[in-house]
Each structure stands twice: as structure tokens, then as C-alpha cells.
């Protein structure tokens, strides 16, 4: 037993390290890596023609660490000072004489030693990453589990303010997530290949680029990064790695110190996992010392010392260090074994940590309210000012402390306090559990970030696994690349948990970084060639693609992935064929040869679209498939070769758009425009301004000032007016006159009487605007879609939405605003108009149950800016001050909700990928919960609530907020209702049924408040909200049905009386909102609810609702039109029949 340090000690080795780490940094491993480096160098030089062919194969066959004469190697190393020359001497004896002369060709000792060290550090970082991710995963679980466990927050070891233990864990977690990101950067920048020769100049390989090519090849073989220049004396990379380990050790040390103090007898808030006699004392039987935390704390200081050593090692002299380099030999193994041991201890301590919630609460209350003195001070400051409130509360704190009374008792003795705060107020303010600030919200936001976890095999896992866009049961995300393939810049593909390159290499396949679009501004000019941004999900490889054939040839382990099915393909791609083939297509063998001979990284498809002008000189977006990128390439090549220096005419780019037959003569529109302008009301400008102000918080389609200016020009000079402006104005007038009777004398609700006049005029212009795609035309079409929803012409709105969506794409609104040169106002309008149409498309698809027309992978435009109408102009944009609200804040909320609804449609309402429903619902609900926090509303808490998601309190204050809250309820239903098709024994069925029931109850209450108000504006708001996507009268009716359905399933939403009242309220609200109800459908729906409510609740005492009893045929209702009625309402068909006497 000759161990001299705790790291290789038999006694302490597994306390301060692990066997895996010791083996990775053992001298046997080090020498094995020296041999590996020499063999890889020979392979690289052989590939570049520097040494004879076959040299590398001979070396690999004969050279192995098992052949080492360790005593001879040690003796010679002691003499030489370095192990490389003695190693080369032994290796030369293992191989034939004609090969031995090429060992160590062109290298120097430091090259080989640095390569061995880098290979050791590479392996060490893999161990560190695996343990780091396990600790991170444990902290994530702890943060979620103890989210609501209150405890005392302490500063300077004194009570400061209440926090939760989950918040404390989340603070730890945030640091570890940053460490994971740092590690990815370090692997990219610091694991460098070393090959420079005697002085780093590669002079022994000549003055050509042979040495550089060998170095690049060597980097590829060893899976390291290739530096631009030799780094013999530039040791920042080694220092960065060891200092990174010290950073991780520091974070672990902070956790350890917290746990040590919290586990003291006085606090007794936590304890390390119980193992018999762990932390025991030889004298005091009661002792249970926090051993793991003590070791972690000590290791953090050991790591700090190693970080200092490698920083000293950076100060090297000239082209080879005469001493500082040796510091790394001692620091690197110590640092890695230390950090692995520390992470191992942390994993043990945290994964089984015993948390004493009662002690935490008792300690929180131990100061009798003093810990929330700030809460009292801030509330009192509203009346006295902050400084005076501070003095008043400070005196009360002193009295409470000296007299051993509670803070509330001390405060109630002060007339300065009781003059402003009642005893009940003080009781709430002095409750520590009610003053947690935003710690839980921050925790939720942190946990809401999508991170990648690691399974037991060290593989990345995050629910569903995708490779090349195909769904597989593993861990990587769609369109993502594993760390190893990303570093090597090779294609990442495969069907299983691991990608194929990692499987072949026998290494862990880990995805730790989610690739994002490149948002960096690269050009203001649309015709400049830029790299294509990678989309969020890779395209699915179809069975009939030629690439699939190549893949199947190169990867025989994946026969099913590329097998030809269904339709025949060109023979040149599916058969070997003969060389006599006359086809001009590339042969299969040629394609395979090209792929196999590729040495560099896989190229990126870089073509992009641009704006071109149509016949009316309107800028239209030309996608890359039109050939615009190829034409630009050809033009640039011509100019480079100076064959043709003139630029191509613009028509070559837009030839596909032009009408070669000529446009037919157009009738004069001046008379039509003049006749319509003459019918404008006198107060048209006021109506337009009020309408824009009303709808901007939801649909900021137009800019108020420029629209009013355009209206005045239209009214003053109709002969030279633009038809699209007239269409806009008529649409706004139709929206602005909703609910006004006009000249109608009928005794009914005048919801559309006046507005229909302006809509019909605008509708006559729609056909004329088909051939005039422009931003003003698109704005008019979006306004028309809103009006069509409110007038219950949803099918027409859907059809018009299709035309508007294609027009928006033709105008390039779906592409990022930085790609085009527009003035600030038009740039902002393009964003707003796009997101309005995006929301209309998503909501319309949800309303009609149709596929979306807009795919998220085709969109990279940014959200609109938070600016009001008067803050943006053609010249500039003035952003609001921090904390100030803008008119479009609620619109931004709606756009983000539309994204979630669209995502729900793609994931839950698809006709193909129907598996993984529970994970999809959970993820979507998490996104919806995060979105809910953006709403400017209060939450209601229920004392009996089991911790489920809470809906906002019913308090309609503004039209737009009321709409968003109703849309939120319907979005919740859309996310959870697919789970109602699960079997009732599935846990998700109950969870989703409760979520649907709560959302339905809230929706009924929201609509009931507005519809029951006789005040015209409030009632008008209620009618509008009820008819606007994604809401609808059918969703209100289904809300009442959901309350009943939950009761039929034996899981009522609330008490019998409350559920019955909700269903009754729903029926009453339907009748209030029915307007004219020309066909009587809404009345029939309300009658259905009344009947169901009567039959469900009238017999509840005699026959309690049991799931098995609640079958439709038990009641034996004769109703023949149930299916027709359900289809009318877009509801699920009901197997019901009503009795003849009901008049239905």
C-alpha cells in the first residue's frame, strides 16, 4: 500500500474520487493515449502521403500498452525527463525494422504528451458531463417537488425574507444549467489537436501545406478540434478546462455549505441520506455528520488550488516552457478526479436528501413575524412614505425582540400603524407564507425551459425522440444534432436511441444544445446571398427519395428506413443497372462514390428567396424554387469572369409572375369609388378612429394616423383614390357600426342592420382586389374576416382567410423583417399584419377542425414591437419606457396564444402521428400555464384546491382581456379534450376531464356576466366575444355539456347545486346571446341543455349517478334530430332521443 494522496488511497479513494476517474487518469491510461497519438499521427501522415502506405496498420497491430516494460519506461523517463522518447524506443522494437523508422515522424515530445493529455481530458469531460446532468436532473426534480415548501431566506446568516425550498434548489439548478452550456462551448474551443514539431512550425514536413493537412487529418482521426496555429505555449485552453472544473466545484461547494448549516441541530431542516453508521462518531452515538457535504466543500478548495496552478502554467517562456508546463501534469489529474468525486458525492447527497418541511416552517415562524417586517413596511409606506414607514416598523421590531412578543402585537400598540392598517390587514401582512414574492413564478419559468435530460446509458432524453424528423422512442429533439456529430460536423442520423455514427463509434449519444435559428442581421438587402437558416424540424425522409437509397447502401443496419414501397422509381436509382444505360440521371454507384469520397463537413443548402416586382410593380416574395437564387449565382459568376459586366434586367427574376398575354382593359373605377364615398356617414372619421382604437388591442391591423390620412385623401379626391384603401375604410365602418339600427324599424336586436350596408359595398370590391396583392389589400381582407365572424358567416371567413394567407406569403410577410429594406412604419405594419393573419388562420383551423394553412417551419418573422400608433412613423420608432404598457400588449398575448393553439392542432389533431398524447398534452399545458401569467389579472385560490392549474378570477375589466380569458378557456379545452377519448382508467383521462370542466365552468361564468348586462356596450362586447375565433356559440354549448359529461363519468366539477346552476346558466346565456336566431338552432341547443339538466339532476337522490348507469338508452328519449343538431353546432354526435311532447 504505497498510496500517498487521498485520490489513490485505498482508505479515502472512493470518498475523494471514483474508480472510473482514477482509471481514466492513471499512468496506464496516459501511456495508452501516448501510443494512440503516435498511431493516429502515422495514419494521418500515411493518408497525406508523408509515410509509406501500411505504416499505421502495422503500428496498430503491434503496439499496445500491454507490452510496456514499466520498469524500463520509468527508469528511462527519470533520465530523459519525459516519457515519449523511452516509449518510442520500446515501440520501435515491437514493429518490423522497415516500419520503426516512421514512428514519431515530424513530431516533438510535447506534441504527443499534449495529445495524450487532451484525450484524457476529453474522456474526463464525458464523465463529468454525465454526472453533471444527473445532478442537474435531481435538482430539477427537487425544485418541482418543493416548489411550495416555505422556509426562511437568510442573509448574513440572519432571517431575511421567506422563500421556498424549491426556490433555493432552483437557484442551485440555474447555475448547473449554465455549467452544462459552458461545457458545450469548452468542448468546441478547448479540446484541440497538437502537432507542431520542434518549435511549432512543422518545418520537418517542409514548407508546403503538408504539415497543416496532416494536423487537420489528425484532428479528424482523434475527434478533436483543429487549431489555426500551434498552441505549445498558448495554454489558455487547458486553463479554461481546469478553471471550468473549479467553477463547477464552487457551485457544489455552495450547495454543500448550505446543507451543512441546514443540517445543524438548531435548524434541522435537511439531512443527508441515512446509511447505518455514515457520519457516526466514535464517542458520541447521536452524531450524524454531513459527510458528503463536508467532502464536497473540501473538494471545492482543492479545485480552486488546481485552477491557480494552471493559470501559473499559462506564463510560459518563448516557444517551449522551461517549467510552467510541468504544473499541468500535476493539476489535470487532480482536478478531474476531484470534480468527479465531488459530483459523485453530490448525486448521492441530493438524490436522497431528507427534507424536514415541519422544521422549515417552524424556523420560518420562529421570529414571530419579524421576517416579514418588509411586507408591513411596504404596505404602510403607501400612507406614510417609505422612510417614515421604515422607522415605525423598525421600532416595532425592536420592541418585539426585547419583549419577546410577535411583530403583530408590537405593531398593534403603535397608533401610527393602526391609524392606517386594521388588525386583519396586519394579520395577513405578518403571515410569512403570504410573502413569497415571485420565487415560485421564477421557479416555474426556469422549469418551463426545455432542457435535455440523460438516461441511465448517458443518452439525451426529453420525451419523444426524433432523428431526421422521424419520431422514435429516445431523447433527441426534432431537427437536432447530437454533440459528437455537431463537433465533428458530420450528418447525425439513425432510428434508435443513438444516432448511427455514435453507435458505430461505441460512444454515448448526447444532445445537450437545442439549435436555434440564426437571428443575426446579415444584410439589409434582399438580393444578397446569405446562409439559409436551419428550420426547427428536419424534413422527413420519404421512402422514394434518392437520398434514402444512398443511406441504405452506406448503412446496412437500416434496411427498413430506405426500402422502396408503393410506387416504382426511376430504374437508375433502384437497380444496379448496366453501364449501357442511356439515362442522363446520375447512376446509383456514382452517387454512392461521391458520398463515400467526401472528406469535409456536410454542406449546407444556402439558397434563399428575394423580393421581385409583379406587373403592377408590387414587391412579391419569390421563393428559392422559382430559381431566383440560381439566377443570382449565374449573374455573379458572369461578373467574376468578366464575360458580361452588366446586371441582368429585373424581369429575369420575375418572369414567372408576368402576364405574357397582356392585362385586359380595366373599367374606370372613379365612378364606383365616388358613388361609395358619397354614402359615407358624416362622422365617418370619428367612427374609423374609434374602431381602430377598439380593435388595436386585439388585431392591430392598421396604423391609425396613416389610415386616417388615407381616408381624408379618399374623401377629398375619390377620382384618384386607391381601391384597396376604400375596401379598408368600408370594412372599418362595418365593424364600427355593429349594434347600430341605422334606418331599420324592425323590433329586433339591431346587431347588423347598419353595418351590413358597408360590408356589402366592401364585398363588391373583393373580386376586383384579387389581382392587386398589396399590404393595404391584405389589411382589408383581414378586417373582412373579423366582420364575417361577427356576422356568423364562418365558412365565408374561412375561405377568405385562405386567400389572405396566400397573399401574406406572396408579400413575404412570413420572412424576417431584417431581410428587407422598408421604412420603420411599413416594417412594423408587415409584422402586425402577418401575426394577425397567423392568428386568424390558427383560430379558424381550431374552430372548423381543419388543417392549418401556415406551417411554423416556414415562418421566421419576428413579433411586432410594443409601440403605440403615435410612437411609430415613416422615419422612426420610439419605444415605451420600461414598465409602461402599450396598446398592443394584449395583441402580443393573443399572437402567442395562437402559436400554442396551432401547436395543439399539429400535435393532437393530426391524422397520422397519434401516439405520445399524454406527453404532448403535458407540454402544451405547461406552455399554456406560462402564457396565462402574461394576462393582467388576479388569480383565485381555493382552500380545497389540490394544486391544479388555477384559472383567472372572473373580473371582466376590458373587452380585450375578457376575450383573451375566454380564448384561454377554449384553448385549455382544445388541449385536454383529446384525452377524453382515452379509457377512463387512464390517469390522464381524469386530469384532462377536470381541466376541461374547470375551463368550461369559467367560460360559462365569463359569458354570463356580459350577456346578462342590459347596458348596450357590455352586451355588445359579450356578443362580439362569443362570436370571435377561437370562441363561438358551439363552444359555450359544449361547455354546458362538459359539466354534465363530467358528472356522468362520476367526476363532477363541483357540488350538485353548483353544477346544476352552471348548466342552467349556460342555457340562459345561450338564449341571451342568440340575437335573431333565424333558424332556431341556438334555442334548440338551450332546450337540449335544459332537458339534460332536468334528467341528470332530478333523479340524483333516487339514483346516484354511477358510471355504468349513465347510458343514453336508459332514458329512452325519442329525438330524431340529435345528429343533425350536433353537426350544426360542430359538437360530438349524441345518441339521444327526446320525447314527442317536448316540442323539439
Q: Report how far residue 1070's alpha carbon sits from residue 555's, in angstroms, rounded to the nearest whole number.
A: 62
* pLDDT confidence of residue 634: 77
Q: Report how far residue 432's alpha carbon sits from residue 1136's, in angstroms, rounded to the nearest whole number.
A: 55
* pLDDT confidence of residue 1113: 41
Return the closest-CA partner of residue 573 out of 560, 559, 586: 586
Please check the confidence at residue 465 and state whether its pLDDT lies above 50: no
113, 84 Cβ separation under 8 angstroms: yes
Please check the confidence at residue 135 and state whether its pLDDT lies above 90: yes
* pLDDT confidence of residue 1108: 43
CA distances from 586 to 543, 550, 577 (A): 19, 12, 12
Beta bridge partners of 613: 619
* pLDDT confidence of residue 894: 93
Query: Where along the chain do its domains lie?
Result: 13-357, 370-429, 541-575+586-606, 610-657, 670-871, 915-1142
Q: Where are the beta strands (DSSP E) in 592-751?
A: 610-613, 619-622
* pLDDT confidence of residue 341: 93
735, 690 Cβ separation under 8 angstroms: no
Q: Percentage of the chain with pLDDT > 90?
A: 36
* pLDDT confidence of residue 337: 94
Q: Percentage of the chain with pLDDT > 70?
A: 78
Mean pLDDT, range 982-986, rounded to an integer: 87
Please check the confidence at residue 474 and state whether its pLDDT lies above 60: no
Q: Report how far residue 191's alpha carbon sits from residue 158's, in angstroms, rounded to the nearest whole number.
A: 45
The mean-pLDDT minimum among 129-138, 185-194, 245-254, 378-387 falls in: 378-387
Return the closest-CA partner of residue 132 out of 96, 181, 81, 189: 181
Q: Residue written as cell 445537450?
A: 512
Span 367-392, pLDDT tens digits: 888 888 898 899 888 888 889 889 99
* pLDDT confidence of residue 408: 86
Q: Report how far residue 928's alpha carbon sits from residue 893's, in angstroms, rounded to the nearest whole number.
A: 11
Please check the confidence at residue 226 and state whether its pLDDT lies above 60: yes
Count other Cβ atoms within 10 Å, centred on residue 387. Answer: 10
Please check the confidence at residue 820 and state whether its pLDDT lies above 90: no
Span 634-644, pLDDT tens digits: 777 777 777 77
Residues in CB range of 1038: below 8 A, 6 or more apart: 973, 1000, 1129, 1131
Residue 466 pLDDT grade (very low, low, confident, very high; cuts 50, 70, 90)? very low
Residue 145 half-sphere exposure toward CB, CA atoms < 13 A: 13
Instruction: State the DSSP string of 459-470.
Output: -EE-SSEEETTE
Beta bridge partners of 453: 461
Span 227-253, pLDDT tens digits: 999 999 999 999 999 999 999 999 999
The two beta strands, 470-472 and 619-622, are unpaired
Q: What is the DSSP letter of 162?
A: E
Asked if the bond preceding 1096 is cis, omega within 30° of 0, the reply is no
Span 80-128, pLDDT tens digits: 999 999 999 999 999 998 888 899 999 999 999 999 999 999 999 999 9
Out of 623-637, 750-764, 1087-1101, give the one with best mean pLDDT: 750-764
Return the closest-CA partner of residue 343 out of 25, 171, 133, 131: 131
Better-predicted residue by pLDDT, 346 or 552? 346
Mean pLDDT, range 858-870, rounded to an integer: 87
* pLDDT confidence of residue 73: 93
Mean pLDDT, range 504-521, rounded to an integer: 59
Residue 840 half-sphere exposure toward CB, CA atoms < 13 A: 33
The mean-pLDDT minimum among 160-169, 232-241, 835-844, 1013-1022 falls in: 1013-1022
* pLDDT confidence of residue 966: 92
Please check the confidence at residue 310 and state whether its pLDDT lies above 60: yes
* pLDDT confidence of residue 879: 76
The mean-pLDDT minimum among 596-605, 768-777, 883-892 falls in: 596-605
* pLDDT confidence of residue 1126: 44
Residue 461 pLDDT grade (very low, low, confident, very high; cuts 50, 70, 90)? very low
Per-chain mean pLDDT for the chain: 79
pTM confidence score: 0.49
Q: For CA atoms 212, 214, 217, 223, give the dihedral sign.
A: negative
Three-state SS at 257: helix
Residues in CB range of 261: below 8 A, 6 or more apart: 157, 267
CA distances from 677 to 775, 784, 998, 1095 (A): 21, 18, 49, 57
The three cell numbers of residue 236 are: 489558455
Residues in CB range of 373: below 8 A, 6 or more apart: 393, 394, 396, 397, 407
Please check the confidence at residue 1013 and state whether its pLDDT lies above 70: no
Beta bridge partners of 159: 154
Mean pLDDT, range 270-284, rounded to an integer: 80
The mean-pLDDT minimum among 487-501, 637-651, 1050-1064 falls in: 487-501
Give me the torsion for CA of 1088, 1091, 1097, 1100, rounded to 10°. Answer: -120
* pLDDT confidence of residue 38: 94
Q: Residue written as cell 439513425?
A: 494
Span 691-731, pLDDT tens digits: 999 999 999 999 999 999 999 999 888 888 888 999 999 99
Q: For CA atoms 528, 534, 538, 543, give the dihedral sign.
A: positive
Residue 318 half-sphere exposure toward CB, CA atoms < 13 A: 4
Better-predicted residue by pLDDT, 79 or 1075? 79
* pLDDT confidence of residue 540: 38
The mean-pLDDT minimum among 288-302, 912-926, 1015-1029 falls in: 1015-1029
Query: 754-790 burial by CB neighbour count: b if 16+ within 10 A, else e?
Result: bbbbbbebbbebeebbeebbbbbbbbbbbbbbbbbbb
The mean-pLDDT minimum among 330-344, 631-645, 713-727, 915-929 falls in: 631-645
Distance of CA 1009 to the CA centre of its chain: 36
* pLDDT confidence of residue 1012: 59
* pLDDT confidence of residue 1: 56
Please check the confidence at residue 799 and state whether its pLDDT lies above 80: yes
* pLDDT confidence of residue 738: 87
373, 367 Cβ separation under 8 angstroms: no
Provide the CATH number for the domain formed by 13-357 in this structure.
1.20.200.10
* pLDDT confidence of residue 412: 86
Mean pLDDT, range 801-819, rounded to an integer: 88
Q: Residue written as cell 407564507?
A: 433
Return the closest-CA partner of residue 479 out of 459, 465, 460: 465
Better-predicted residue by pLDDT, 878 or 841? 841
Better-predicted residue by pLDDT, 521 or 48? 48
Amino acid at each position: 500500500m504505497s498510496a500517498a494522496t487521498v485520490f489513490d488511497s485505498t482508505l479515502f479513494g472512493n470518498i475523494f474520487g471514483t474508480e472510473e476517474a482514477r482509471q481514466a487518469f492513471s499512468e496506464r491510461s496516459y501511456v495508452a493515449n501516448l501510443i494512440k497519438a503516435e498511431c493516429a499521427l502515422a495514419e494521418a501522415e500515411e493518408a497525406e502521403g508523408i509515410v509509406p502506405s501500411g505504416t499505421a496498420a502495422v503500428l496498430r497491430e503491434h503496439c499496445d500498452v500491454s507490452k510496456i516494460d514499466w520498469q524500463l519506461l520509468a527508469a528511462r523517463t527519470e533520465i530523459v525527463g519525459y516519457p515519449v522518447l523511452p516509449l518510442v524506443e520500446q515501440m520501435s522494437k515491437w514493429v518490423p525494422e522497415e516500419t520503426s523508422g516512421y514512428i514519431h515522424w515530424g513530431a516533438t515530445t510535447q506534441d504527443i504528451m499534449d495529445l495524450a493529455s487532451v484525450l484524457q481530458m476529453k474522456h474526463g469531460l464525458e464523465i463529468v458531463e454525465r454526472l453533471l446532468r444527473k445532478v442537474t436532473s435531481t435538482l430539477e426534480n427537487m425544485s418541482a417537488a418543493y416548489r411550495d415548501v416555505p422556509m426562511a431566506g437568510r442573509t448574513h446568516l440572519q432571517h431575511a425574507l421567506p422563500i421556498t425550498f424549491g426556490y433555493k434548489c432552483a437557484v442551485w439548478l440555474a447555475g448547473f444549467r449554465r455549467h452544462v452550456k459552458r461545457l458545450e462551448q469548452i468542448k468546441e474551443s478547448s479540446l484541440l489537436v497538437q502537432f507542431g514539431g520542434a518549435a511549432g512550425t512543422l518545418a520537418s514536413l517542409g514548407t508546403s501545406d503538408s504539415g497543416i493537412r496532416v494536423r487537420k487529418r489528425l484532428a479528424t482521426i482523434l475527434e478533436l478540434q483543429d487549431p489555426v496555429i500551434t498552441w505549445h505555449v498558448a495554454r489558455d485552453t487547458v486553463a479554461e478546462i481546469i478553471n471550468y472544473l473549479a467553477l463547477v466545484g464552487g457551485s457544489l461547494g455552495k450547495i454543500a455549505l448550505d446543507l451543512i448549516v441546514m443540517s445543524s441541530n438548531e435548524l434541522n431542516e435537511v439531512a443527508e441520506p441515512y446509511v447505518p453508521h455514515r457520519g457516526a462518531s466514535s464517542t458520541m452515538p447521536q452524531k450524524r455528520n454531513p459527510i458528503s457535504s463536508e467532502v464536497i466543500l473540501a473538494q471545492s478548495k482543492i479545485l480552486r488550488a488546481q485552477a491557480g496552478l494552471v493559470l501559473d502554467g499559462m506564463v510560459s517562456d518563448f516557444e517551449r516552457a522551461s517549467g510552467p508546463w510541468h504544473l499541468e501534469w500535476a493539476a489535470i489529474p487532480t482536478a478531474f478526479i476531484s470534480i468527479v468525486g465531488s459530483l459523485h458525492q453530490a448525486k448521492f447527497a441530493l438524490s436522497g436528501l431528507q427534507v424536514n418541511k415541519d422544521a422549515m416552517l417552524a424556523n420560518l415562524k420562529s421570529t414571530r413575524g419579524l421576517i416579514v417586517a418588509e411586507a408591513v413596511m411596504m404596505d404602510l409606506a403607501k400612507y406614510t412614505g417609505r422612510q417614515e414607514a421604515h422607522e415605525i416598523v423598525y421600532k416595532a421590531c425592536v420592541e418585539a425582540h426585547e419583549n419577546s412578543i410577535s411583530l403583530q402585537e408590537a405593531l398593534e400598540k403603535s397608533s401610527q400603524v393602526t391609524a392606517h392598517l386594521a388588525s386583519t390587514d396586519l394579520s395577513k401582512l405578518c403571515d410569512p407564507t403570504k410573502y413569497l414574492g415571485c420565487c415560485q413564478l421564477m421557479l416555474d419559468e426556469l422549469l418551463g425551459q426545455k432542457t435535455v435530460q440523460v438516461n441511465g446509458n448517458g443518452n439525451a432524453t426529453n420525451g419523444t425522440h426524433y432523428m431526421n424528423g422521424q419520431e422514435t422512442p429516445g431523447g433527441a429533439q426534432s431537427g437536432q444534432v447530437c454533440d459528437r456529430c455537431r463537433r465533428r460536423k458530420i450528418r447525425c442520423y439513425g432510428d434508435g436511441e443513438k444516432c448511427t455514427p455514435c453507435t458505430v463509434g461505441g460512444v454515448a449519444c448526447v444532445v445537450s444544445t437545442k439549435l436555434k435559428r440564426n437571428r443575426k442581421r446579415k444584410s439589409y438587402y434582399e438580393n444578397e446571398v446569405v446562409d439559409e437558416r436551419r428550420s426547427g424540424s428536419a424534413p422527413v425522409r420519404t421512402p422514394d427519395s434518392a437520398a434514402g437509397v444512398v443511406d441504405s447502401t452506406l448503412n446496412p443496419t437500416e434496411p427498413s428506413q430506405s426500402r422502396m414501397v408503393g410506387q416504382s422509381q426511376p430504374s437508375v436509382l433502384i437497380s444496379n443497372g448496366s453501364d449501357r444505360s442511356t439515362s442522363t440521371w446520375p447512376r446509383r454507384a456514382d452517387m454512392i462514390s461521391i458520398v463515400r469520397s467526401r472528406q469535409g463537413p456536410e454542406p449546407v443548402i444556402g439558397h434563399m428567396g428575394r423580393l421581385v416586382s409583379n406587373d403592377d410593380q408590387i414587391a412579391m416574395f419569390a421563393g428559392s424554387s422559382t430559381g431566383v437564387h440560381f439566377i443570382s449565382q449565374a449573374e455573379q459568376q458572369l461578373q467574376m469572369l468578366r464575360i458580361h459586366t452588366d446586371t441582368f434586367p429585373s424581369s429575369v427574376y420575375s418572369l414567372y409572375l408576368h402576364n405574357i398575354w397582356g392585362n385586359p382593359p380595366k373599367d374606370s373605377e372613379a365612378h364606383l369609388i365616388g358613388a361609395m364615398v358619397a354614402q359615407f356617414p358624416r362622422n365617418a372619421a370619428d367612427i374609423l378612429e374609434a374602431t381602430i382604437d377598439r380593435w388595436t388591442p386585439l388585431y392591430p391591423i392598421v396604423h391609425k394616423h396613416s389610415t386616417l390620412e388615407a381616408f381624408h385623401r379618399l374623401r377629398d379626391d375619390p377620382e384618384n383614390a386607391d381601391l384597396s384603401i376604400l375596401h379598408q375604410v368600408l370594412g372599418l365602418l362595418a365593424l364600427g357600426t355593429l349594434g347600430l339600427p341605422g334606418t331599420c324599424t324592425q323590433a329586433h336586436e339591431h346587431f347588423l342592420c347598419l353595418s351590413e350596408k358597408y360590408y356589402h359595398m366592401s364585398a363588391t370590391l373583393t373580386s376586383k382586389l384579387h389581382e392587386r396583392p398589396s399590404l393595404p389589400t391584405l389589411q382589408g381582407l383581414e378586417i373582412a374576416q373579423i366582420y364575417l365572424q361577427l356576422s356568423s358567416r364562418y365558412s365565408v371567413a374561412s375561405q377568405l382567410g385562405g386567400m389572405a394567407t396566400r397573399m401574406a406569403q406572396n408579400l413575404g410577410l412570413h420572412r424576417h423583417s431584417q431581410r428587407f429594406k422598408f421604412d420603420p412604419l411599413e416594417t412594423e405594419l408587415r409584422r402586425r399584419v402577418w401575426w394577425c393573419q397567423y392568428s386568424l388562420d390558427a383560430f379558424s383551423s381550431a374552430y372548423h377542425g381543419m388543417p392549418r394553412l401556415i406551417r411554423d417551419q416556414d415562418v421566421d418573422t419576428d413579433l411586432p414591437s410594443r409601440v403605440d400608433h403615435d410612437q411609430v412613423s415613416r422615419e422612426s420608432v420610439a419605444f415605451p419606457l420600461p414598465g409602461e404598457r402599450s396598446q398592443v400588449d394584449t395583441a402580443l398575448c393573443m399572437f402567442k396564444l395562437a402559436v400554442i393553439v396551432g401547436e395543439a392542432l399539429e400535435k393532437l389533431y393530426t391524422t397520422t402521428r397519434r401516439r405520445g398524447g399524454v406527453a404532448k398534452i403535458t407540454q402544451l399545458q405547461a406552455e399554456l400555464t406560462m402564457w396565462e401569467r402574461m394576462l393582467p389579472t388576479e388569480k383565485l385560490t381555493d382552500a380545497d384546491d389540490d394544486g391544479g392549474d388555477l384559472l383567472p378570477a372572473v373580473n371582466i375589466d376590458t373587452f380585450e382581456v375578457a376575450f383573451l380569458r375566454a380564448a384561454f378557456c377554449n384553448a385549455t379545452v382544445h388541449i385536454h379534450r383529446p384525452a377524453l377519448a382515452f379509457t377512463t382508467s387512464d390517469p390522464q383521462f381524469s386530469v384532462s376531464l377536470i381541466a376541461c370542466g374547470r375551463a368550461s365552468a369559467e367560460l360559462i361564468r365569463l359569458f354570463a356576466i356580459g350577456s346578462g348586462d342590459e347596458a348596450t356596450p357590455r352586451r355588445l362586447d359579450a356578443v362580439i366575444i362569443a362570436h370571435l375565433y377561437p370562441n363561438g356559440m358551439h363552444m359555450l354549448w359544449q361547455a354546458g355539456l362538459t359539466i354534465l359529461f363530467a358528472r356522468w363519468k362520476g367526476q363532477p366539477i363541483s357540488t350538485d347545486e353548483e353544477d346544476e346552476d352552471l348548466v342552467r346558466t349556460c342555457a340562459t346565456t345561450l338564449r341571451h346571446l342568440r340575437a335573431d336566431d333565424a333558424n332556431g338552432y341556438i334555442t334548440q341547443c338551450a332546450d337540449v341543455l335544459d332537458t339534460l339538466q332536468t334528467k341528470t339532476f332530478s333523479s340524483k337522490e333516487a339514483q346516484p349517478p354511477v358510471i355504468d348507469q349513465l347510458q343514453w338508452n336508459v332514458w329512452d328519449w325519442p329525438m330524431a334530430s340529435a345528429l343533425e343538431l350536433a353537426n350544426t353546432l360542430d359538437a360530438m354526435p349524441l345518441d339521444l332521443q327526446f320525447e314527442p311532447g317536448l316540442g323539439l
